[in-house]
Amino acid sequence: KLLLNDFLQSSITLHICFFLQKLNNMKKNILLLSGIFILQLANAQVEKGSIFTGGSIGSSNSSGEGNSGEKSSGFSWNFSPQIGKAIAQHKVIGVQLIAGGNANENTNTSGNTQKNTGNQFGAGVFYRQYFPIYKKWMFYGQTNANLNFTNSSSTLQSIKYQQAKGVSGALTASLGITYQVSKKLWLEAGLSDLIGITYSHQKSENLSPAGAITSSFKTNTVTANFNLNSSNNFAIGFRWIIPAKG
């Protein structure tokens, strides 16, 4: 009977020690998870009321030569300064200005060169949503509603033979990634205008070699696009996000 009592007491003591050890491990895990949660709260955030400023700039180059000796080259650029305000954590609305241009040149086998140039200027509104990834890194998605004014011209052997002016409205969406360099400075890279729908109205004029208008015509178009060509829509930029006071 004494041996049985000793055995029971030892067994109860072992179970109590095992339970206390498990409880201690649970506390450690809870503290670890709490620490990770607190660390995540200390990571990059865009708080409600923060002022959002900055802009993006992008460009692309292209060139090629055909089997028969014809050559082509192109260049485009865009610049878009923005200012906005965080209406909630990681959610920003604002306004932006838009500027851009392009130039393309084609030379045939006879040596005749045709050049097309164009510029656009406009303004719009945007909504941006940030998605935290890890520490100072975040993804973002942005939708834009823009109104643009355009002008373009075409020349052949340096003689202008056509010119055009137009206006367009567009709804577009962009994706990117951003990194918080300091408390206020953020750097980002993304693909602009990945998807969109555009309505445009344009008036074109054909010109004589002397520059007189020989004829004109108007066009109205609606286009939808899904563009993954990163060489054309890749852009880098910065954001200066001033945290809300209080």
Written as one string, the DSSP assignment of 87-148 is: EETTEEEEEEEEEEEEEEEEE-TT--EEEEEEEEEEEEEEEEEEEEEETTEEEEEEEEEEEE
Per-residue pLDDT at 246: 60
In this predicted structure, the answer to whether residue 223 has a pLDDT above a threshold of 80 is: yes
Q: What is the pLDDT of residue 231?
A: 56
Q: Which residue has the higher pLDDT, 14 or 217?
A: 217
| Contact between residue 191 and residue 199 where contact means Cβ atoms under 8 Å apart | no
DSSP 211: S
Residue-averaged pLDDT of the chain: 82
Better-predicted residue by pLDDT, 208 or 30: 208
Mean pLDDT along residues 211-240: 82
Residue 237 predicted with pLDDT over 50: yes
Q: Which pLDDT belongs to residue 134?
A: 87
CB 85 within 8 A of CB 51: yes
Asked if 225 and 199 count as a contact pair (C-beta separation under 8 A), the reply is no
The first and second tokens of residue 67, run together, are 């089997």
| Span 133-163, pLDDT tens digits | 988 899 999 999 999 999 999 999 889 999 9
Task: Write down the pLDDT at residue 186.
Answer: 92
pTM of the model: 0.66
What pLDDT score was predicted for residue 172? Answer: 93
Interval 71-109: pLDDT, tens: 899 999 988 899 999 999 999 999 999 999 999 999 988
Please, which pLDDT band fits residue 43 given cuts at 50, 70 and 90? low
- Mean pLDDT confidence for 215-231: 82
